[in-house]
Structure 1
Amino acid sequence: MFWLIIIILFLLVALTLILFHREDLSHLDHEDYTVREAGPSAENRHVLELIKDMGNAGKGLRGKARLQAMRKYMDSMSDSLELQSQILPSENPNGEWVIAPGADPRRRILYIHGGAWAAGSPRSHRSITDRLSHIANAAVFAVDYRLMPEHRFMDGVRDCRKAYTWLIENGPDGPAEATFMLVAGDSAGGSHTLGLLAWIRESGLRQADGAVAFSPSTDLTMTAPSNRNNIATDPMLGPMFGGLSKVPRPVIWWATLAAFRVSPTSPVASPLRGSLANLPPTLIQVSDSEMLVDNARRYAAKAKAEGSPVRLHTWRGMVHVWQIFSPLLPEAEEAFADIESFIREIESRKNDSEVA
């Protein structure tokens, strides 16, 4: 019996090494990045209270009931917003158009919301999609991709791919080729955004003119230092996922494979693990105090090494995806001003190349 246990353990270790073989990316942690000097504004205190309320939404509940409470709370975040944008529902693909007054329908943004692939919706992220439509003078399509656990992870991926393919040739007014395309997303949606760029490249489709990712999840292997080092300083993700720091990583990998039906080392689930060459200009915004900051840093460093124009802008002491707290939070408005400048820059370069 003893030797049988030893053999089983040996085979399990060998299978783990084979299934979850991964490149050691710790060398990417040596890059230096500038962090904005200004600390959190006074309004950040209110944001922290809102995050506590979000955490309490499912208090005392378990399983599906807790998840539903979280989904309901996230959707309610848009209830108090005074939006000037027009909201138009779409059924095929599923989602909604968010269109600021005067926005050009041939200028389009695909927005992919976050929520750990299990929560969130176009409605929950209207504070972001509304601002993007205004600053980009574009029609924003927020895709309502299928969520786990009711659906498979790859179902959501396919929904995002379908939405992008459709958006190239279709706007809110019907069939019409897009003159400008941007892909944006936050957290889990940021992962889908970055993974989508690679899929577009491999598929030979018209590539996006640019991309924006807010605090993206880039690597489900959770090997980046901040995944554990920043648990105490991340008021949103820390309470939700901090307990994973006590779980051996191979156990997390097996659990991820079981839940996602995709290996955590797959570039589809972990864009950092794939080729980052020949990607469009990409802006990543992240906070230095959140758990995912090193995931973003590693992605930016690898993309730079492989020749893609990816830039990382880091704020000090902000909560995960603080942009969703616009217009309450001044730092959120700063982030959108940063995005507006980024869009102007990529458009200027695009126009120069067309003239040349």
Structure 2
Amino acid sequence: MLWILLAIVALIIVVTLVLFRVEDLSHLDSHEHPVREGPPSDAHQEVLGRIRELGQSSRGLRGKARLTALRKHMDGLSDGLSLDSEFRANDSPRGEWVIAPGVDTRRRVFYIHGGAWAAGSPRSHRGITDRFSHLANAAVFAVDYRLMPENRYMDGVRDCRKAYAWLLKHGPDGPGEASFVVVAGDSAGGSHTLGLLAWIRDNGLRQADAAVALSPSTDLTLTAPSNRENIRTDPLLGPAFGGLSKIPLPVIWWATLAAFRVSPASAVASPVRGDLRNLPPTLIHASDTEMLLDNARRYTAKAQAEGSPVELHTWAGMVHVWHIFVSLLPEAEEAFEDIKEFLHRVESGSAQPQTTQT
């Protein structure tokens, strides 16, 4: 019986290695990426309080009830914000136009919200999309892509692809070619953003003029060091996903395949594992204390090595996607000013990977 058990274990190991083919990307960890100096502002403590409220909103709940509470709390993040943009619902594709006063609607930002592919919405991210409309002088389309677990992961991916193709030829007032296009997203939406850029390139569509990814997930294999090393310093993702560090990675890969119906080693789920050549100028933001830090570092290092103009700007001690707290955090204001300056460099033709942090 023992030899049968050993044979089964050996077979599982072989199948795992063949099926997932997880390339070792640790050589990308040697690249240096400067971090903005200075401790977090006093307002950061209030933000930590908001994050604790998020955790408390679903405490004691399980399954669908927990997810419903999380979604409701996230949608409330925009409540009470002083926003002067117009928010206009769109049915097909499903989403929301965000239009700041006086912007040029031929200029468009395609925004993909975060929320672990299971929560979040255009409403939850209005603080971000409103700011994007102002700084880019553009109409923002926040796509309301299908979420898990009611839908498959690839349903959300297809929604983003379809909506991007539509955006190229439609503005908030009807048909019309876009004159300038930015693709942006945060966290899970940052993953969709980076994956979308490669899909656009491979399918012959008009490529975005620029892209912005805020604290993006780039690798669902969870092999980057910060996925484990930054659990205690990440007040948002640490409590939610830190427990995964106790589970062997092959088990996580099989569970991800079962839940997502996509291999975590595939480029559609892990953009860093795809072809990163010939991509548009891309700006990535990350915090040096978040679990996804090395996801951003690895993607940037690989993209630069393959010749794409991708740059990473890192803040010290910020929470995951601190940009959503723009009404509270001076660092969020700084981040949006950084994005504005990046887009100006893109339009002037001077956007190149930066080796120093300002």
Amino acid in the other structure paired with 2:150 = E
Whether 1:190 and 2:190 are equivalent positions in the alignment is yes
- Post-superposition shift, 1:348? 1.0
Structure 1 residue matching 2:211: 3-state secondary structure: strand
Aligned to 1:48: 48
Provide the residue aligned with 2:269 in structure 1: 269
User: Per the alignment, in what secondary structure is the counterpart of residue 110 of structure 1?
Assistant: strand
Deviations 1:206-259 (A, max 9, x none): 000000000000000000000000000000000000000000000000000000
Q: Please report how far the alpha carbon of residue 157 of structure 1 lies from its aligned counterpart in structure 2 after TM superposition.
A: 0.1
The amino acid across from 1:6 in the alignment is: L
Q: Give structure 1 stretches of 5+ with no counterpart.
A: 352-356
Aligned partners of 2:56 and 2:248: how far apart in 1?
Answer: 28
Letter matched to residue 283 of structure 2: L
Letter in 2 for 1:161: R
2:354 maps to what in 1? Answer: none
What secondary structure sits across from 1:109 in the alignment? strand
The runs of 4+ residues in structure 1 deviating greater than 6 Å are none
Look up the equivalent residue of 1:54 and give its one-letter code. Answer: L
**Equivalent position of 2:349 in the other structure:** 349
TM-score (ref. length: structure 2): 0.97
Aligned to 1:184, the other structure's residue is in SS state strand
CA distance in 2, matches of 1:232, 1:306: 33
**How many positions carry a matched residue from both structures?**
351
Counterpart AA for 1:126 = R
In the other structure, the counterpart of 1:238 is 238
CA deviation profile, 1:139-178 (whole Å, cap 9, x unmatched): 0000000000000000000000011000000000100000
Q: Identity across aligned pairs (percent)?
A: 70
Report the TM-score when normalising by structure 1: 0.98
Q: Tell me the distance in 2 between the aligned counterparts of 1:25 and 1:12.
A: 23
Residue 136 (structure 1) aligns with: 136
Contact 2:81 2:327 in 1 (8 A): no
Which secondary structure state, in structure 2, belongs to the residue aligned with residue 77 of structure 1?
Answer: helix
Corresponding residue for 1:221?
221
Amino acid at match of 1:290: E
2:317 alignment partner AA: G
Task: Note the residue ranges of structure 2 that are not aligned, 5 or more in a row.
Answer: 352-358
Residue 37 (str. 1) matches residue 37 (str. 2): yes
Paired residue for 2:6?
6
Is 1:314 aligned with 2:311? no
Q: Residues 1-356 of structure 1 correspond to what in structure 2 (within 5 A)?
A: 1-349=1-349
Whichever residue aligns with residue 329 of structure 2, its letter is L
Amino acid at match of 1:122: P
Change (3 A) 1:331 1:94: same
Distance (Å, rounded) in 1 between the aligned partners of 2:350 and 2:129:
24
Task: Quote the Cα distance in structure 1 between the aligned partners of 2:248 and 2:44.
Answer: 34
Residue identity in the other structure for 2:174 = G
Amino acid paired to 1:75: D
Q: What is the root-mean-square deviation of aligned Cα atoms in Å?
A: 0.9
Q: CA deviation at 1:350?
A: 8.5
Aligned equivalents of 2:200 and 2:39: distance in 1? 38
